[in-house]
Amino acid sequence: MIAGHYILYAPEPRNEYETLLVMKLLHRVRQMLRNLVWKIIFLTLLPGLYASAVTTLDLPDMGDPTGNILRPEFERRLGQAFLNQIRRQADIVDDPEVETYIQSIGYRLVAQSDNASQLFTFFVINDTNINAFAAPGGIVGINTGTIINSETESELAGVMAHEIAHVTQRHMARSVQMSQSMSIPMMAAMLGAILLATQSSDAGVAAMSAVQGAVAQTQINFTRSNEEEADRVGMQLLERADFNPRGMPSFFEKLQKNSRYTAQAPEFLRTHPLTINRIADSLARVDASIPFDSFHESNTYKLVRTKLIVRAFAEPKLAIDRYSTALQNGQFTDDAHIFKYGLALAYQENRDFDMAAKLLDELLERDKNNTSYMLARAEVEVERGQFDDAIAIYARMDRLFPDYRPLILNYANTLILAKRPKDAIEVLEDYNKYHTPDIKYYTYLAQAQAESGNIIESSKANAEVYFLTGETHVAIQLLKDLIRRRNPVPDYYQEEKILSRISQLENELKIERNMKLTR
């Protein structure tokens, strides 16, 4: 596994190496193991690359003994390169509401860490398998399946706290230190052994023993030690952040029990070796006097989880049947509104917009300022093509929650669809007041500027999209082409800003090339 984003938490709603052999191996592995491949690659293949690249850069020693192998700046950039690969290969959930929620949970936990200065990036992968992982540079990914299969917000937070702990305890750098003496061919053989271990743990251990004997066993023990430390530190984060610390062992115990009745354990258990002793140790750390149900579960957790459950159905009609039956049979206690929300989303997925609107209106009568209901109601009008009605809902939300990221982005996108790009630009101008510009922001800005006839500003925004997706050389070329434009010609201020940005990006590209993270 890989040793293992957000905005500071607020109450709701509130980033050709070494040999050709390595690159060929990376290519083959990508085809074999989707998301798991990158976890394995960063654990087994890159340690030798880290040491050499960092030596080339000769970055200053900040006093962290693990920094002698994997320095923070290199780790940050390596994590960004990893995230760019994930964006190309995985189906990342492109829903601002889901993104913002998972980020709020993440930074609520990070804020309680002893290493709160570490930057993090959290994202959700559209995959119903249960899995989560962390990578260098504070990259934390979680599958929709993990959210769906959790039963409480504390269980979900427990998984995330475990991954955050892997990052804050620098388990990746320490793994690098343990295996720095391994040669590239030996690491390749070790990789094959670990791939085998995902199918059969006994065969994997035997293969690793054949490859490297005692060194392999040391690596296994070190990984187990990482897992135990991530449990301990993660549970501290849970308690400090006012989640139920039982959430972590509860979820792990549930996974282990369920895996007994299936042919293959969840991917999370295969990449995070779990033992009965670890679960028992985790439970022993929890104060027995704290009742499991004494912690508040946010309504947003239930609504986001419901949204993901509805989307996971193969056919919307199946979701309609499930939620209709649950409502008719009274299969709920105090959560009738959650089931009704799920039914509304299922009707929306089935393009029955009248029924979806009716149910959402009933929910809004009960809770008129609920952001999830308002976002869904506006989306129904967008899908109907009734943009003015959707914009009216967003305008009301803007008065109530002007800094809510899902609102700003959905509002801007709807204004673009309604052929009101200048209004979209005005909405997006407020984004920088509350949020760090990201890919979705620059994508909408580029589109709005282009449709407003502002070719220069549109191209500048596009350049930022390329930079944030790891195509720094393309971003530079796009900006240089702008300087040479004759129709339209950049004005003096635009030209100065473009030249300054080119200089910054060229420096970034130089660093990336020195680190062998790009060509």
> Per-residue DSSP letters for 303-314?
HHHHHHHHHHSS
pLDDT of residue 421: 98
| Cβ count within 10 A of residue 20 | 8
463: tokens are 């350049």
pLDDT of residue 82: 81
More confident of the two residues 273 and 181: 273
> Would the pLDDT of 256 be above 80?
no
Helix (H), strand (E) at residue 263: none
**In this predicted structure, which of 25-29, 85-89, 148-152 has the lowest mean pLDDT?**
25-29
pLDDT tens-place string over residues 435-450: 999 999 999 999 999 9
> How far from 447 is each of 201, 240, 435, 456, CA to CA, in Å?
50, 43, 19, 12
- Highest mean pLDDT: which of 8-12, 80-84, 287-291, 461-465? 461-465
pLDDT of residue 330: 80
Q: Beta strands 139-143 and 132-135: pairing type? A: antiparallel
> Would the pLDDT of 242 be above 80?
yes
pLDDT of residue 178: 54
Q: Residue 291 CA to chain centroid, in angstroms?
A: 31
pLDDT tens-place string over residues 44-60: 444 443 333 333 333 33
Say if CB 105 and CB 12 are below 8 A apart.
no
So where are the chain's domains? 20-285, 308-514
Q: Across the chain, how many H-helices and E-strands are there? A: 27, 3
φ, ψ for residue 134, nearest 5 deg: -130, 155
pLDDT of residue 270: 58
> How far from 383 is each of 200, 307, 390, 398, 417, CA to CA, in Å?
47, 17, 10, 20, 11
pLDDT band at residue 284, thresholds of 50, 70 and 90? low
Helix (H), strand (E) at residue 121: strand 121-125
pLDDT of residue 189: 44
Q: Is the peptide bond before 488 cis (omega within 30 degrees of 0)?
A: yes
Question: What is the per-residue DSSP string for 49-85?
Answer: HHHHHHHHHTPPP-S-GGGGTS-HHHHHHHHHHHHHH
Name the H helices within 93-183: 96-110, 144-149, 153-168, 171-179
Say if CB 31 and CB 41 are below 8 A apart.
no
Question: CA-CA distance, 53 to 135, in Å (whole number)?
Answer: 18
**In this predicted structure, which of 232-241, 260-269, 433-442 has the lowest mean pLDDT?**
260-269
Question: CA-CA distance, 145 to 305, in Å (whole number)?
Answer: 10
> How far from 396 is each of 59, 368, 369, 378, 425, CA to CA, in Å?
51, 11, 10, 11, 18
Catalytic residues: 163, 231
> Would the pLDDT of 298 be above 70?
yes
Question: CA-CA distance, 35 to 56, in Å (whole number)?
Answer: 30
> Would the pLDDT of 209 be above 60?
no
> Would the pLDDT of 34 be above 90?
no
φ, ψ for residue 141, nearest 5 deg: -115, 145
How much is the pTM? 0.77
> Would the pLDDT of 35 be above 50?
no
Reported residue count of the chain is: 519
Contact partners, residue 383, CB within 8 Å, separation at least 6: 348, 351, 353
SS3 156: helix
pLDDT tens-place string over residues 61-86: 333 444 444 567 777 787 888 888 88
Closest CA to 513 of 16, 15, 42: 16
CATH class of domain segment(s) 308-514: mainly alpha
440: tokens are 């979705």
pLDDT of residue 61: 34
215: tokens are 């060194």
Closest CA to 82 of 470, 414, 438: 470
Say if CB 130 and CB 255 are below 8 A apart.
yes
Q: In DSSP terms, which residues pair with 133 in a beta bridge? A: 141
In the 8-state DSSP scheme, what is residue 44? I
| Cβ count within 10 A of residue 94 | 12
Q: What integer is the mean pLDDT of 135-154?
A: 92
Q: In DSSP terms, which residues pair with 122 in a beta bridge? A: 140
How far is the first Cα of the chain from the last one, in angstroms, to the nearest whole number?
A: 27
pLDDT of residue 215: 41
210: tokens are 């054949």
